[in-house]
Amino acid sequence: MLNWFLEPLSYEFMRNALAAGFLVGILCPVVGTYLVVQRMALLGDVIAHAVLPGLAIANFLGIELLFGAFAFGMLSTFVIAWIRAQSRVKVDAAMALTFATFFALGVMLLTVLNSRLNLEELLFGDILSVSIADVWRTSIITMGVLGLIKLLYKELLFYTFDRTGAEAVGLPVQGLNLGLMAGITLTLIVGMKIVGVILVVSLMVGPAITAYLLVQELHQMMIVGAGLGVLASVTGMYLSYHLDLPSGPTIALTVFVLFLAALLFSPSQGILTRFIKR
């Protein structure tokens, strides 16, 4: 049994992948908690796909992909806000339109600019190719985002649950929203390398909603969600190694299994728990 845990650690690519998965497993659910409680989980999916044009342009210009991805991720949030401010269109419709438009633009630019980017790798990730440089970059972004959340926790808590009240007492609502969007975008960009554009959303939202079924307070959701994210990432990596499965999808399916377990057995909200109590 001990060998089952130790054997993968003898390979450098597995050590790098586990370290990156551990970091993203913490960061994604913490940031995703804000999306869940604001009922904006789809926004993560929108931003994850909206970065594609930025990746294509950055690759064509020969600059750091992070900058292009961040610029277009933030642009997508501004487009959604602008559509909502200038029309009666609801936020879900604005997000759906932005999602489709930016993703289509990204695919077109990849073709027109003859980009060398691997679309399949962007969509589904390749955690086994993570380098030590990627791990360090992930560490820096993780510490930066979590540090800002810790510093502005009370303000973000007020803003999240009562935006009008936060504005009334003089909190910089626009600045808080901008900072939150920046944190979400950075988190998604980091997660793309680990599990890809499509599956990073499951790691951001899945552990957060699982924690939502288990605890009541926002800070508790973050702590439990981070623990579940780490558990899903590490367990998914070990299963993918020993069963010869693709890593990203295995992590995402592990996230769903944990959610299903909470849905059935949560002490307060579990389906089977309520049935037994009756």
- Residue 276 forms part of a structural domain: no
Judge residue 178's burial from the number of C-beta atoms within 10 Å of its C-beta, 0-12 exposed, 13-18 middle, 19 or more buried: middle
Q: What is the dihedral sign for C-alpha 50, 52, 57, 62?
A: positive
Q: Is 259 helix (H, G, I), strand (E, B) or coil?
A: helix
Please tell me the pTM assigned to this model. Answer: 0.88
pLDDT of residue 198: 66
CATH of the domain at 99: 1.10.3470.10
- Residue 21 forms part of a structural domain: yes
- Residue 272 forms part of a structural domain: no
Considering its fold, how many domains does the chain have in total?
Answer: 1
pLDDT of residue 114: 81
Q: The domain containing residue 106 runs over which residues?
A: 2-264
Q: State the CB neighbour count (10 A cutoff) for residue 169.
A: 8
- Residue 195 forms part of a structural domain: yes
Mean pLDDT by 10 residues, the chain (278 residues): 81 90 93 88 83 89 86 92 89 89 90 77 75 89 92 89 84 87 88 74 91 92 95 93 87 93 88 79
- Residue 37: CA atoms inside 13 Å, Cβ hemisphere, count? 26
Q: State the CB neighbour count (10 A cutoff) for residue 44.
A: 26
Q: Kindly state the tokens that stand for 211.
A: 């924690």
- Residue 140 forms part of a structural domain: yes
- Residue 275 forms part of a structural domain: no
Q: What is the dihedral sign for C-alpha 228, 142, 32, 256?
A: negative
Nearest-angstrom CA–CA distance, 46 and 80: 10
Nearest-angstrom CA–CA distance, 225 and 214: 10
Q: State the CB neighbour count (10 A cutoff) for residue 131.
A: 13
Q: Three-class SS string for 141-199?
A: HHHHHHHHHHHCHHHHHHHHHCHHHHHHCCCCHHHHHHHHHHHHHHHHHHHHHHHHHHH
- Residue 278 forms part of a structural domain: no
Nearest-angstrom CA–CA distance, 191 and 185: 10
List, in order, residues 6 or more apart from 131 with CB less than 8 Å away: 16
Of 42, 85, 92, whose CA–CA distance to 174 is shortest? 85
Nearest-angstrom CA–CA distance, 188 and 168: 31
List, in order, residues 6 or more apart from 69 with CB less than 8 Å away: 51, 54, 55, 58, 185, 189, 192
Nearest-angstrom CA–CA distance, 145 and 189: 13
- Residue 273 forms part of a structural domain: no
Reported residue count of the chain is 278
pLDDT of residue 267: 84
Residues 204, 35: contact at Cβ < 8 Å? Answer: yes
